[in-house]
Amino acid sequence: MSGFDELTHVRAKEIIDRYPVARSALLPLLHLVQAEEGYVSQAGIGFCADQLGLTTAEVSAVATFYTMYKRTPCGEHLVSVCTNTLCAALGGDDIYARLSAKLGSPDRPLGHEETAGEPGTPGSLTLEHAECLAACDLAPVIQVNYEYFDNQTVQSAEELVDALRRGEKPNPTRGAPLTDLRTVELELAGFTNDETVAAAAVAGPSAALETLRGNTLAAERGWAAPAMPDEIPALPEKAR
């Protein structure tokens, strides 16, 4: 397909060679396309279909099922605000509403998966409301390019967005140092352009005090799970 350079073709082949069945490579191949284009275009769907021997309908079904694959061009950063139950109750809805108004125009707030600024340019942001981000103990939570910013408020979320628009990359609460969406998409496809960046990502903090509180209490109070028996009893006949 036109629009994809030789390096992208080489990387696509490398991805496909990781799997015993070619079609199993579709998810990372879609991430590769998104790293190249900033979204998954119809040409990107055709590229994946050609590489894997699938129909464009089969590829489209996958690309539209998973929310990480975007069908319109994204900004330099993807800002995901959790608006699932706990985050919403603790301020996630207020955060999303404020950022939507802030990034939109005076007469129209920015909508879900819409972009403030020219897509792909420095400081451009795509805003989305997200389902549970698996950090309820740190609610309300925002992700930027899938890195966590925990315990947010309307004010801190605004400050985060302002910093991103100025070209800054604030440190996430947990996870790898902030880069940009296309770099993250390339990493999700299994590649990196910078080994130093990759090493820093691995070394980033991965846990929070709240998450480890149960372990801490157990250690302080001498709690431990019962030991596994030497032999696991067979199931009763009727349970088989």
Q: What is the pLDDT of residues 151-177, one digit of tens each?
A: 999 999 999 999 999 999 999 999 899
Q: How confident is the model at residue 209 (pLDDT cuts 50, 70, 90)?
A: confident
Q: What's the chain's length in residues?
A: 240
Classify domain 6-65 by CATH architecture.
Orthogonal Bundle (1.10)
Q: How far is CA 115 from CA 66, 67, 74, 80, 221, in A?
A: 19, 16, 6, 12, 50
Mean residue pLDDT of the chain comes to 93
Q: Does domain 77-180+194-202 have CATH number 3.40.50.2300?
A: no
pLDDT, mean of residues 97-103 = 97
pLDDT, mean of residues 210-219 = 90
Residue 88, C-beta contacts closer than 8 angstroms, at least 6 positions apart: 82, 140
**What residue spans define the domains of the chain?**
6-65, 77-180+194-202
Contact between 40 and 30 under an 8 Å Cβ cutoff? The reply is yes
pLDDT at position 2:
52
- The pLDDT tens digits for 129-143 are 999 999 999 999 999
Q: How far is CA 63 from CA 39, 69, 80, 98, in A?
A: 10, 6, 19, 29
CB atoms within 10 A of CB 76: 26
Q: How confident is the model at residue 240 (pLDDT cuts 50, 70, 90)?
A: low
pLDDT, mean of residues 220-236 = 87
pLDDT at position 196:
76
> Helices then strands (H, E): number in the chain?
10, 5
